[in-house]
Structure 1
Amino acid sequence: MRYDVLLFDLDDTLLDFGMTEHNAFRLLFEEYGLPNGFDDYLGSYKTISKVLWDDLEKGRTTLAELKVERFKRLFTEHALNIDPIVFGQKYIENLGKEVHMIAGVEEMFANLKNFRIGLLTNGFKDAQHARVNGSALKNLFEVIITSEETGFQKPQKEIFAYALEKLQISDPSRVLMIGDSLTSDIQGGNNFGIDTCWFNPNRKLNHLDIQPTFEIHSWNQLAEIVNTKVLEVKL
């Protein structure tokens, strides 16, 4: 049996988040009169942010707390007199203006026929919807589900249950989760009991006890997996 429902992650799967983050930060620090802020503070920010996103995946913090706390810690570390609440909101707004498609994505979707397509992201609602709507991905997804809207995040089972309920899918064997993160996308799919495909263009070694059903290194490989047999019945 193969799949007729494909769930995609967004950041670093379909859209380049590194470029998005770079531009959003650079412009925001310039607005605050810190033209060198990106170079001066990005290293600290990435360290702080990784800890908090890991905490989010493990249920130790919430997305609302993360939104402010990452900048609160950054500004405390560097003795900057900036309101983390205001800065955090402006950062989200800047993220929403940045759309950078990963190579091969448009061609990949052009080669996918007769599939139901959904988006499942741990990002912030306003930023993620704005980026999708500003891209060639607009109108592609049957559902766009963010962790901010559901109150759950990958790898929690609940966000996958929410997605399948929205799609009115009762048979998880029809669904394939596709994303770049082993700990979020792949672990989440494994937790819920759906097949997974790890998008790994840089051919990173997997040192974790998390095994995807498939691994691909370029988008043209996905069609080879999902087009093998498409389910005839659509519920």
Structure 2
Amino acid sequence: MSIKLTDRQQQILDLIREAVVNTGFPPTRAEIAQTLGFKSANAAEDHLRALARKGVIELTAGASRGIRLTEAAADFFGDTDINPERVRSQPTPLSAPTAAPGMGQVLLPLIGRVAAGFPMLATENIEREIQVDPNMFTQTPDYLLKVKGLSMRDIGILDGDLLAVKKTNVARNGQIVVARIDDEVTVKRLNQQGSRIELLPENTDFEPIIVTADQDFSIEGIALGLIRSTPLQ
């Protein structure tokens, strides 16, 4: 291959790959700095820009997780966790505006306001169905959830966005999940330490949600990526 990476650049590329595989989303600059022992996130930013110049990642300005592996990155992985096909189908960075596809191969229900006491995919919760190209995501979503509020703003999940969700009742620590607490449904990052469950926002204006023993808590699904229907300006 004509592209050469330094040992540190390879280390960061591997870290990005592991985050995408394990959580579905790339790491933040601060997470890279903390993991690799950098004094500041600026050092991580310098290495990311170097990787972008070499064509193995793409960066989205103004997004803390706006990092996307390119097809060229697959040449630098010695295992099969990410191959060229998987790189092609990874989700768009969450803050990158993406037009909702007009035609697709999968018809997904769009969940708007969630009616208390009803399952996510109950008729009462479905606004309409949208055709989506399944190749946009690493897995085929089961439904789209209309995001309400700005508690996940710092990773680019904005009010009105459509979150592609895989229906499941289990999730790995650190994944973005759709969770139900009693009759309320929320999108947050899962942080589970033993029996303690926290749902973390990605916006410093919001406080973490700590699930108490007397609350009815369940995982409704994991986020696979995002569709934004706002036209590009």
Higher strand share: 2
Q: TM-score, normalization: structure 1?
A: 0.28
Q: TM-score, normalization: structure 2?
A: 0.28
Higher helix share: 1
Higher relative contact order (CA 8 A, sep 6+): 1
